Structure 1
Amino acid sequence: MNRPVLLALLGAVLLTGVAVGYGVFSANRAQPASTAYSALSLAPGPRILFRSTASESKGHAAMVTAADPGAPRAVSELECLRVDAAGGTGVCLRQDGMLSTFQAAILDADLHVAREIPLVGVPNRTRVSADGRLVAWTVFVAGDSYNNGRFSTRAGLIDLRSADMIDSLEFLPVTLDGHPYTAADLNFWGVTFAADDSTFYATMSTAGHRYLVQGDIASQSLRTIAQNVECPSLSADGKRIAFKSAIDGDPAKGWRLSVLDLASGVRTPLAETRSVDDQSAWLDANTIGYAIARGSDDADVWAVPADGTGSPRLLIPHAESPAALG
Structure 2
Amino acid sequence: MNRTSRRLILLGTVLVLAVVAVAATLRAVDRAAEKDRVQQGGPRVDSGKVTLAAPGRLLFRNMAWGPHRDELASVSAKDPSGPRLSSGVHCLRFHAARGTGICLQKRPGKLSDGYRAVVLDSRLREQRKYDVAGIPTRARVSPSGRSVAWTVFVGGDSYAVGNFSTRTSILDVRNGAMDGNLETYAFYRNGHRYQPADLNVWGVTFADDTHFYATVATGGRTYLVRGDRTAKTLKALHTNVECPSLSPDGTRIAYKKKVKGTDPDLPWRLYVLDLRTMRETATAEHTSIDDQALWSDGNHLVYQLPGDYGADLWTVSADGSGHPKRMTISALAPAFTR
* TM-score > 0.5 by shorter chain: yes
| 1:52 positional shift | 0.9
Distance 1:244 1:75 in 2: 30
Aligned-partner residue type, residue 59 of structure 1: D
TM-score by length of 2: 0.81
Given the superposition, is the C-alpha separation of residues 171 and 249 from structure 1 closer, same or farther in structure 2, using an over 3 Å criterion?
A: farther
| 1:111 pairs with 2:121 | no
Residue 39 of structure 1, aligned match among 45, 49, 69: 49
Distance 1:249 1:96 in 2: 41
SS class of match (1:45): coil
SS class of match (1:248): coil
Q: Which stretch shows the higher mean deviation, 303-312 or 37-46?
A: 37-46
Provide, for residues 214-267 of structure 1, a one-character-per-residue CA deviation record: whole Å limited to 9, x for no partner. 100111111110000000000111111110001129854421101111010011
SS class of match (2:183): helix
Aligned-partner residue type, residue 73 of structure 2: A
Instruction: Report if the CA contact (8 A) 2:135-2:152 is conserved.
Output: yes
Given the superposition, is the C-alpha separation of residues 269 and 62 from structure 1 closer, same or farther in structure 2, using an over 3 Å criterion?
A: same
Instruction: Report if the CA contact (8 A) 2:45-2:84 is conserved.
Output: no
Distance 2:261 2:77 in 1: 35
**2:228 maps to what in 1?**
216
**1:285 maps to what in 2?**
298
Gaps of 5+ in 1: 1-33, 144-148
| 1:179 positional shift | 0.8
**2:189 maps to what in 1?**
176
TM-score by length of 1: 0.84
Instruction: Report if the CA contact (8 A) 2:142-2:207 is conserved.
Output: yes
**2:70 maps to what in 1?**
59
SS class of match (1:55): coil
Compute the RMSD of aligned alpha carbons.
1.9
Distance 1:292 1:182 in 2: 36
Distance 2:176 2:261 in 1: 38
Aligned-partner residue type, residue 65 of structure 2: S
Given the superposition, is the C-alpha separation of residues 230 and 249 from structure 1 closer, same or farther in structure 2, using an over 3 Å criterion?
A: farther
**1:247 maps to what in 2?**
259
Residue 301 of structure 1, aligned match among 283, 295, 313: 313
SS class of match (1:170): helix
Aligned-partner residue type, residue 235 of structure 1: S
| 1:35 positional shift | 6.6
**Identical amino acids, percent of aligned pairs:** 45
Q: Which of 1 and 2 has greater Rg?
A: 2
**1:161 maps to what in 2?**
174
Provide, for residues 177-223 of structure 1, a one-character-per-residue CA deviation record: whole Å limited to 9, x for no partner. 2211011111111100003x111011110110011111001111111
Instruction: Report if the CA contact (8 A) 1:247-1:253 is conserved.
Output: no
Residue 334 of structure 2, aligned match among 302, 322, 326: 322
Provide, for residues 95-134 of structure 1, a one-character-per-residue CA deviation record: whole Å limited to 9, x for no partner. 1135332111100000111111111111111000111001
**2:58 maps to what in 1?**
48
**2:248 maps to what in 1?**
236
Instruction: Report if the CA contact (8 A) 1:228-1:249 is conserved.
Output: no
Aligned-partner residue type, residue 118 of structure 1: D
| 1:311 pairs with 2:326 | no
SS class of match (1:276): coil
SS class of match (2:319): coil
